[in-house]
Amino acid sequence: MSKVLVVDDNEDILLAVKLLLKPYASVILTENNPNKIYSILQDQTFDVIFLDMNYSKDTTSGHEGFFWLKEIMKLDYKAVVVLITAYGDVDTAVKAIKEGATDFILKPWQNEKFIATFNSALKLRESRNELEKMKTKQSYINQISGNGLNEIIGISEPMQKVFSMIQKVAETDANILILGENGTGKELAARAIHKHSKRAKEIFISVDIGSLTQSLFESELFGYTKGAFTDAKEDHVGRFELSSGGTLFLDEIGNLTPEMQSKLLTVIQNKEVFRVGSSKPIPIDSRMICATNVPVYEQVAANKFRQDLLYRINTVEIHLPPLRERKGDIPLLTEYFLSIYKRKYNKPELTIDPVTLKYFENYEWPGNIRELQHAIERSVILCDSDKLKLADISLLPSSNTGNDESFNTMNLEEIEKLIIQKALLKFDGNVSKAAKELGLTRTSLYRRMEKHGL
């Protein structure tokens, strides 16, 4: 599928090269006027460019060839240029290589030599493309390495259904739509799909659509060329191009504006992107996984989300349950996060009070797993003892923690302890305010806290 450009003022040379390379290249563009190089390279990218050294103004020095070589390298710094001349010598060849040429061919040439030179040049172009992508990928990997968690934790029945669905869809290349509330682990699910897919050895790119403005949406997803706008100091590889061969995860896709939706749909349909500031199509091969916490079908009904785009991104849907619907996983998640932050904050002896864990199981968790994670990290930081107690926890009021159903016990001692803990939690550990709420003096509350080990 290689593309070749041949620039020479001799029509016979152009025809000869075209016939010679026809079996080896999918596109061969010939041009006898070097002044058209600007417009040609603004619209297209070529794997190999054959450039004549001498034109009508000067048939022997090669100055024109060196001029156009420099111009080509300005337009495409990865360009692979093979110079052609009938008057070449070693000095000219060495100078051409120093100026950025890949190789040098003398007229008349031997066909076998020409083909060998072409194949070498083609491999060099592929290597340069791969090197650029690898550098960009490595830079991206370095940015995200160590951020967040990389495992889905769960033994509850709702999560077993999710695991089963992930296993079924991972091996396919189908586009996936993950639905779920904020903090339910949509990105973790997307990473699990990628990990078990045929693309597992390729890169996984995550993009938070909700954080992108209209202009950032295009430059981040599609990339941009040097000079496309004021701050564009160099070419920038977009997320689609970067994730080609791997997986692209678009989070909060329900926040796309109608214009963004239209542009995204075009990319998915055509499987190619245009960098901002360029009219050259770049083919992409990304497995798309999208996610949203908004009722996307209601948005479609209200004409806020394109139905044709929804069809494109949801070949298969995966629904992630909120934490309140998988309470059997709370003890496991708690221990998991606690083990992480004990190591991080050097508190190896820290454990969690069973009453605190019971409170966790009865709490609504409006922020889901993310709220649980942050609550535990904050509590580990603030805890002054070797046991994480309810007084160390700071959570939003829960509809399930203020009624009799939250106790799950008839033992008066345990109920008293729970009530004291809830009062302390409500007032962030302020004993005076908690005592007033409970109708006790500060001395009485301290005595009861000591009795219950609070």
Each residue's pLDDT tens digit, 354-375? 888 888 888 889 899 999 999 9
Cite the residue boundaries of each domain of the chain with CATH code 1.10.8.60.
324-451
Q: For 8-46, how does the pLDDT look when each residue is reduced to its tens digit (9 = 90+)?
A: 888 999 999 999 999 988 889 999 888 899 888 887 889
Q: How confident is the model at residue 409 (pLDDT cuts 50, 70, 90)?
A: low
Lowest mean pLDDT among 149-158, 295-304, 374-383, 407-416: 407-416
Percent of the chain residues topping a pLDDT of 90? 42
Among 78-92, 127-141, 169-183, 393-407, which range has the highest average pLDDT?
A: 169-183
Q: Kindly state the average pLDDT of the residues 323-341.
A: 93
Q: How confident is the model at residue 380 (pLDDT cuts 50, 70, 90)?
A: very high
Lowest mean pLDDT among 14-23, 100-109, 388-397: 388-397
* Contacts of residue 52, Cβ cutoff 8 Å, sequence gap at least 6: 7, 8, 9, 10, 13, 34, 65, 83, 84, 85
Query: Contact 362/406 with Cβ under 8 angstroms?
Result: yes
User: Is the pLDDT score of 143 beyond 70?
Assistant: no
User: Is the pLDDT score of 149 beyond 50?
Assistant: no
User: Is the pLDDT score of 169 beyond 50?
Assistant: yes
Among 132-146, 349-363, 386-400, which range has the highest average pLDDT?
A: 349-363
Query: Contact 391/445 with Cβ under 8 angstroms?
Result: no
Question: What is the distance between the alpha carbons of residues 409 and 64, in angstroms, rounded to a whole number?
Answer: 92
Percent of the chain residues topping a pLDDT of 70? 88
User: Is the pLDDT score of 134 beyond 90?
Assistant: no
The pLDDT mean for the chain works out to 84
Q: Is 242 left (phi over 0), alpha (psi -120 to 50) or beta?
A: alpha
User: Is the pLDDT score of 65 beyond 60?
Assistant: yes
Query: Contact 209/252 with Cβ under 8 angstroms?
Result: yes
Residue 426, judged by CB atoms within 10 A of its CB (0-12, 13-18, 19+), counts as middle
Strand partners, 340: none
Question: What is the distance between the alpha carbons of residues 150 and 161, in angstroms, rounded to a whole number?
Answer: 19
Query: In 271-361, where do the E strands start and end?
Result: 272-274, 281-283, 287-292, 316-319, 351-352
Q: How confident is the model at residue 410 (pLDDT cuts 50, 70, 90)?
A: low
pLDDT confidence of residue 61: 61
Closest CA to 222 of 234, 244, 240, 203: 240
Q: Kindly state the average pLDDT of the residues 85-114.
A: 78
Question: What is the distance between the alpha carbons of residues 62 and 93, in angstroms, rounded to a whole number?
Answer: 10
Cite the residue boundaries of each domain of the chain with CATH code 3.40.50.300.
157-321
Q: For 262-318, how does the pLDDT look when each residue is reduced to its tens digit (9 = 90+)?
A: 999 999 999 999 999 888 899 999 999 999 999 999 999 999 999 999 999 999 999
Question: Could you tell me the CA-to-CA distances from 201 to 124, 145, 176, 243, 245 in Å, in that order?
Answer: 24, 16, 19, 12, 9
pLDDT confidence of residue 100: 82
Q: Kindly state the average pLDDT of the residues 415-444.
A: 78
Q: Kindly state the average pLDDT of the residues 62-83.
A: 84
Strands 287-292 and 316-319: unpaired
Q: Give me the DSSP letters along 369-400.
A: HHHHHHHHHHHHHH--SSEE-GGG------TT
Query: In 222-378, where do the E strands start and end?
Result: 223-224, 236-237, 247-251, 272-274, 281-283, 287-292, 316-319, 351-352
Question: What is the distance between the alpha carbons of residues 104 and 119, in angstroms, rounded to a whole number?
Answer: 13
Q: For 222-276, how does the pLDDT look when each residue is reduced to its tens digit (9 = 90+)?
A: 998 888 887 777 788 899 998 999 999 999 999 899 999 999 999 999 999 999 9
State the amino acid at position 323 in one-letter form. Answer: L
Q: How confident is the model at residue 137 (pLDDT cuts 50, 70, 90)?
A: low
Cite the residue boundaries of each domain of the chain with CATH code 3.40.50.2300.
3-127
Q: Kindly state the average pLDDT of the residues 87-110.
A: 76
Give the domain 157-321 fold: Rossmann fold (3.40.50)
Question: Could you tell me the CA-to-CA distances from 310 to 218, 227, 380 in Å, in that order?
Answer: 20, 34, 42
Strands 387-388 and 351-352: parallel
Strand partners, 251: 208
CATH of the domain spanning 324-451: 1.10.8.60
* CATH of 3-127 among 3.30.750.24, 3.40.50.2300, 2.30.42.10, 3.40.190.10: 3.40.50.2300
